[in-house]
């Protein structure tokens, strides 16, 4: 159970990690506009636009992962298989951010599917314990 909760904690920090390249891109375009950061983000292109998309997708992935992680804990299914899925999700999400920033779209899409698959598999695994 510890590993599942640790992965959930790490997953909740990934949107913050993904924000760093976005803030860097914003700072490069005339300085970070703390008054209207979303307006500034809307004008980004290239690396900045990819950083914004990666940041937003981190929240979307968290929405899928969190119920699965909590469900395996709640149903007593936090076994080695569930731990593997949670760790694979974290690895996939870290690679996803890297590949997005590097503009490696096929690799990015591949690890996105892997991360989504891990989230769905966690939910399915939890159902097996009910």
CATH number of the domain encompassing residue 26: 1.20.120
HEC sequence for the chain: CHHHHHHHHHHHHHHHHHHHHHHHHHHHCCCCCCCCHHHHHHCCCCHHHHHHHHHHHHHHHHHHHHHHHHHHHHCCCCCHHHHHHHHHHHHHHHHHHHHHHHCCHHHHHHHHHHHHHHHHHHHHHHHHCC
What's the pLDDT tens digit per position in 65-114?
A: 999 999 999 999 999 999 999 999 999 999 999 999 999 999 999 999 99
The count of domains in the chain is 1
What's the pLDDT tens digit per position in 21-33?
A: 988 888 887 788 7
Structural domain of residue 124, as residue ranges? Answer: 2-128
Mean pLDDT over each residue of the chain, to the nearest integer: 94
Q: What is the pLDDT of residue 54?
A: 94
């Amino acid at each position: 159970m510890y590993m599942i909760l640790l992965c959930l904690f790490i997953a909740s920090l990934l949107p913050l990690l993904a924000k760093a390249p976005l803030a860097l891109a914003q700072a490069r375009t005339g300085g970070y506009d703390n008054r209207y950061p979303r307006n500034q983000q809307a004008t980004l292109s290239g690396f900045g636009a990819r950083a914004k998309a990666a940041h937003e997708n981190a929240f979307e992935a968290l929405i899928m992962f969190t119920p699965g992680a909590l469900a395996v804990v709640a149903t007593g299914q936090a076994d080695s298989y569930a731990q593997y899925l949670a760790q694979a999700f974290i690895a996939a999400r870290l690679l996803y951010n890297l590949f997005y920033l590097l503009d490696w779209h096929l690799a990015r899409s591949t690890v996105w599917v892997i991360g989504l698959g891990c989230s769905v598999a966690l939910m399915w695994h939890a159902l097996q314990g009910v």
